[in-house]
Amino acid sequence: MRIAHVLTYLSADGAFGGPVAVMTEQVTELARRGHHVEVFAGWDGRASFAPPHVVTHLFRTRTLVPGAGFSGLIAPGLVRALRSRRAEFDVVHVHLARDLITTPAAAALVGAGSPRVFVQPHGMVKPDARLRAKLFDRRTRRILSAADGAFALTDVDAARLAAVEPSVRLRGLPNGVTVPPAGEERGGHPPEVLFLARLQARKRVLLFAEAAHRLLDDGVDAVFRVVGPDEGDLDALLAMTAAHPDRLVYEGPVPPGAGPGRIARADLYVLPSLNEPFPMSVLEALAAGTPTVISETCHIADRLGSAVATFADDDPAGALTETLRGLLADDAERDRLGRRGRDSVIERFSIAHVADLLEGYYSSEPLEQR
């Protein structure tokens, strides 16, 4: 098949996070299977992006709406290039967000019958009463209604998409990762506890830092490191590192593709995000065998079961602190947790399984509208 994927933004600091990792895994595996795959994406002018055997078209972005974040970016030429080449593709897979790049790209292609258009919102399209969302949804609803399918991560994600547009054709699609060869045994001294995500309120890096403070104040022998681009919480985080500058450390961001390797070197990975839909970094940690801690509010916590450690959210700082305390005191339990996580990814969240689903969806008969 001839397949195009469309993404909002690629940057050297990896700021767009999960959707970049998801798309990279998908296009790499699809190309490995012999499909002709091309990527069209907004670009910061610095990021390197070259998955094997994938043709990439990167369009320099600029800000059209200051203060709107990714939603205010435009990528001149991207939509025009897609529209002019639409006849060359069997499928266009748009990683859809309420933004000025993927929304107009999808709107320009849906409804004509060829190529087939599938959208994947990554949990980002859900009911939203803000004016900006309402303005986008004049197009979003038409896109969801006309697309050959909208990929939903979970039942929660599916319900939210249906609430935005009841006629959407829903298709289930989990995230998946490449499972690397088994790494070296962990057991560094002192053990390293890692947070790797955007420094944004929902990711709760400050909750991670608070738990680190409590444990370090109690004399727990560990190093806590934070990796990720700033999206508002960096100043508060840096203020918290001052009390333990050698044990609570901010490393800065990593470029796209470097996250899995960084997570694999940690003794414990923590993503305390609130209501996280389907975190790729957690799958990457589990695939590497890195013991992983998440909030019980994560939408896939139940599906992961004993593959992860969870903490309750009624007293999140206290609960996270005690969860980490127990794991840091028990090397054997960390090892067992890491093995269970790796086994879980191999069985249920491999990129091979996701690519099987995509190939089936791309070539399947059209679904009736809901």
pLDDT digits (tens, 9 = 90+) for 184-214: 666 668 999 999 999 999 999 999 999 999 9
Task: Indicate the pairing of strand 73-74 with strand 62-63.
Answer: antiparallel
> Residue 324 — pLDDT band, cuts 50, 70, 90?
very high
129 Cβ partners below 8 Å, 6+ apart? none
Where do we find the tokens 């009624």? 314
CATH ID of 192-348, from 1.10.287.130, 3.30.230.10, 3.30.70.100, 3.40.50.2000: 3.40.50.2000
Confidence of residue 220 (pLDDT cuts 50, 70, 90): very high
Evaluate whether 2-176+351-363 and 192-348 have a shared fold: yes
> Which of the listed CATH numbers 3.40.630.30, 3.40.50.2000, 3.40.50.720, 3.60.15.10 matches domain 2-176+351-363?
3.40.50.2000
- As a whole number, the mean pLDDT across the chain is 94
**pTM (2 d.p.):** 0.84
The order of strands in the sheet holding 2-10 is 54-60, 36-43, 2-10, 91-94, 116-119, 149-152, 170-172
pLDDT at position 322 is 98
User: Residue 107 in 3-state DSSP?
Assistant: helix
Query: Which runs of E-coded beta strand occur in 1-53?
Result: 2-10, 36-43
Domain positions in the chain = 2-176+351-363, 192-348
